[in-house]
Amino acid sequence: MKSLRRTLALCTAAALSLTGCSSLLEQEYTHITPHNAAPTAEGDPSTLRADSYQELVNALIYLIGLGMEQGVIRLYMDSEDLDASLDAACLEVIHEDPLGNYAVEYITFRISSVVTYSEATVNITYRHTKEQVSSIVQATGISAIRSELASAMSAFKPECVLRISYFNEDEAFIQSLARQAYYNAPSSAFGMPELQVSLYPDQGQQRIVEIKLTYPYTSSELEQRKADLNQWLDTLGASLNAPSTDARIQAAAQAICACGSYDPEGGSTVCSLMDDARADSEGFALAMAALCQDIGLSYRVVEGTRNGHPHFWNMVQSSTGWRHLDLTAPEEGLYPLRTDQNMSELGYQWDTDLVPVSASVEEGAGTAG
């Protein structure tokens, strides 16, 4: 009986260069569950059967999906060189399949001859744990990716791993979505975390994206800040009992501005007003967004420019549609709700694809992004 053992090295996925905008579909997302694409041998779930090269590939992916370190595959393949076929299948799985490329360090195998078939004993060494593999989330569409990132940041998770379909983007695109997600979770916005993004494999429309997040504070410090912020927001929100939406927006704006002063050199986190009684435009916009979230008002944080300088403000959904609200630019003690045209005339600029459209009642209001 002749045995052969080969070791296959797994290549590391490299970061790509910036390529452009997303063509992802806007759909829902679910957690991954392993699918048995490989037939078992004579009803034995621990032994797989492969009658073709593709079934051999499927069997390897199946073993990896279950996190198995060893498996047996019975080969009923019409091949003059089964060693070469298994060698090629392993290479394909660890270089081209997203799960194999992400999870596996290397694969070794041994082939033995039986009377009517050959039997391959496969040993798999992983570089990620079974728990990490099982926590991968299927995300199809920009909204799904952004939502998962916002959820991870809200819980201060150190890692977010997504399996993405129809994905032709790069690390810079993920960084951009992460920045948007940060502003979508204002009650946890204590400083934008540093991101380390890895793509598995480095090309193809089906890929796994591993995002590691490093926060500016320890986990216990972040949780304490969140608890303090929630208490502060609850105190502010308790007195906001205005009868109409527009009146509640004005009351919320006044409550935030009463907590401190606008300072272009002030803090830029959601806690800046609470801790230091001063904040820049980003700090004000995040604080207003967090309060809107706490009292049930629809909001956005807008990142743009005012007269050519970086600037942040909010959008809120008023009785006449989405409107811009800049807490750093009050008029006679009130905080005007402005349309897109109003803002453009005042020197504001922003990415209109990322926020709702704000039109006058006569123009008709729609949404975007």
- On whether both 332 and 295 belong to a single domain, the answer is yes
Q: How many structural domains are present in the chain?
A: 3
Which structural domain, as residue segments, surrounds residue 160?
A: 136-216
- On whether both 249 and 330 belong to a single domain, the answer is yes
The CATH number for 319's domain is 3.10.620.30
- On whether both 228 and 330 belong to a single domain, the answer is yes
Band of residue 12 on the pLDDT scale cut at 50, 70, 90: very low
The CATH number for 165's domain is 3.30.110
Q: Is the pLDDT of residue 129 over 50?
A: yes
- On whether both 116 and 176 belong to a single domain, the answer is no
Q: Is 363 within the bounds of a domain?
A: no
Burial of 187 (0-12, 13-18, 19+ CB in 10 A): middle
Band of residue 258 on the pLDDT scale cut at 50, 70, 90: very high
Q: Is 17 within the bounds of a domain?
A: no
- pLDDT tens digit string along 334-364? 899 999 999 999 999 999 999 999 998 665 5
CA atoms within 13 A on the CB side of 9: 3
Where is pLDDT greater, at 26 or 143? 143
Where is pLDDT greater, at 2 or 91? 91
Q: Coil, strand, or helix at residue 343?
A: helix
Which of 32-36, 69-73, 135-139, 337-341 shows the lowest per-residue confidence on average (mean pLDDT)? 32-36
pLDDT for the residue 27: 37
Cα gap 317→356, rounded to integer Å? 9
Q: Is 316 within the bounds of a domain?
A: yes
Helices (H) and strands (E) in the chain, counts: 11, 17
pLDDT for the residue 360: 81
- On whether both 123 and 170 belong to a single domain, the answer is no
The CATH number for 110's domain is 3.30.1370
Where is pLDDT greater, at 289 or 1? 289
Q: Is 172 within the bounds of a domain?
A: yes
Q: Coil, strand, or helix at residue 163?
A: strand
- On whether both 171 and 247 belong to a single domain, the answer is no
Closest CA to 267 of 288, 287, 253, 294: 287
- On whether both 333 and 261 belong to a single domain, the answer is yes
Q: Is the pLDDT of residue 1 over 60?
A: no
pLDDT for the residue 42: 60
